[in-house]
Amino acid sequence: MAILIRLWKPHGVLSQFTDAENRPTLKSLLKLADVYPVGRLDRDSEGLLLLTDSGTLQATISRPGSGFPKTYQVLVEGVPEQAAIDQLTCGVELRDGPARALAARRIETPDLPARTVHPRAGRKCCWLEIDLDEGRNRQVRRMCAAIGVPVLRLVRTRIGPWTLTGLSPGSWRSETLHAPVSDPKRPSRPTSTRPHDRPRGTRPSAPRPGKPRASRTPRGS
């Protein structure tokens, strides 16, 4: 069994429990021991953060291409053309290599708690929704910058089947998983049909055509 916690990480809080500079951390929100974040959200980002006491579960969900995509709602400065939005799914070049979204679309203003942001004077803003199957450092921000629209606000709303439903900034919910979360894209290894009463690499003998099977009577009997 494993504990899994859904937390709405507020803006300005670090995705860790300690900080040498005494900045706000998860310790101010959670009074639980032996749980660790599954991935991270940077200090300026908000939204869904998972925590667990299972290293296996942590590694499974965090692995790129694991089958647990992440959804982000992003307020950007500027109104990108559809061709620029499509570029996010075609791929953009970042310093640490190419990056590609699973999906990207423009959306209406989502129903989120209000937070003041400061676009440059005279600049319009719009919301994008972006799905990723990996989570490199500040990846969404860098991808949006690559198409010319800097991020003003970023909220992660989903990781795989888990969402922000029922949460508000700073709140959390815990559940117990009674079985490991498997990778939906990775087929399970078939169970061996090899009998266990004979050595590996052998096969039962069978009489050859036209040749009688040798007697198994012990010699000297």
> Residues with Cβ < 8 Å from 67, sequence gap 6 or more?
133, 160, 183, 184, 185, 186
Q: Is the pLDDT of residue 191 over 70?
A: no
| Arithmetic mean of pLDDT, 57-73 | 91
Closest CA to 77 of 18, 24, 147: 147
**Cα–Cα dist 133/159, whole Å:** 9
pLDDT band at 69, cuts 50/70/90?
A: very high
pLDDT at residue number 149: 97
Q: Long-range contacts made by residues 23-31, C-beta under 8 angstroms, separation at least 24?
A: 26/51, 29/170, 29/172, 30/5, 30/172
pLDDT at residue number 192: 37
| Arithmetic mean of pLDDT, 99-103 | 97
| Arithmetic mean of pLDDT, 10-20 | 96
Number of H helices, E strands in the chain: 3, 11
Alpha-carbon torsion angle 98, 103, 106, 109, nearest 10: -110
pLDDT at residue number 179: 57
| Least confident residue range of 53-62, 150-159, 210-219 | 210-219
Residues 175/50, Cβ–Cβ less than 8 Å:
no
Delineate the domains of the chain, giving CATH numbers in brackets.
Answer: 2-171 (3.30.2350.10)
| Arithmetic mean of pLDDT, 106-111 | 97
pLDDT at residue number 64: 83
pLDDT at residue number 108: 97
| Summary mean pLDDT of the chain | 85
Q: Return the higher-pLDDT residue of 216 and 70.
A: 70
Q: Percent of the chain beyond pLDDT 70?
A: 81
Handedness of CA 108, 109, 112, 118 (dihedral sign): positive
Tell me the β-bridge partners of 8: 48
pLDDT at residue number 181: 59
Q: Is the pLDDT of residue 104 over 80?
A: yes
Q: Is 53 part of the annotated catalytic residue set?
A: no
Tokens at 194, concatenated:
């090899």
Chain-centroid distance of CA 221 in Å reads 70
Please report, for residues 1, 59, 66, 119, 180, the alpha-carbon distance to residue 184 in angstroms, rounded to integers and kept in the order given: 19, 15, 8, 41, 12
In degrees, to the nearest 5, what angle opens at C-alpha 141 toward C-alphas 138 and 145? 135
Tell me the β-bridge partners of 102: none
Q: What are the start-end ranges of the E strands in 30-184?
A: 36-38, 46-52, 70-77, 92-94, 97-99, 103-107, 125-132, 151-159, 162-163, 172-177
135-177 per-position pLDDT tens digit: 889 999 999 999 999 999 999 999 999 999 999 999 999 999 8
pLDDT at residue number 65: 80
* Active-site residue identified among 19, 34, 42, 96: 42
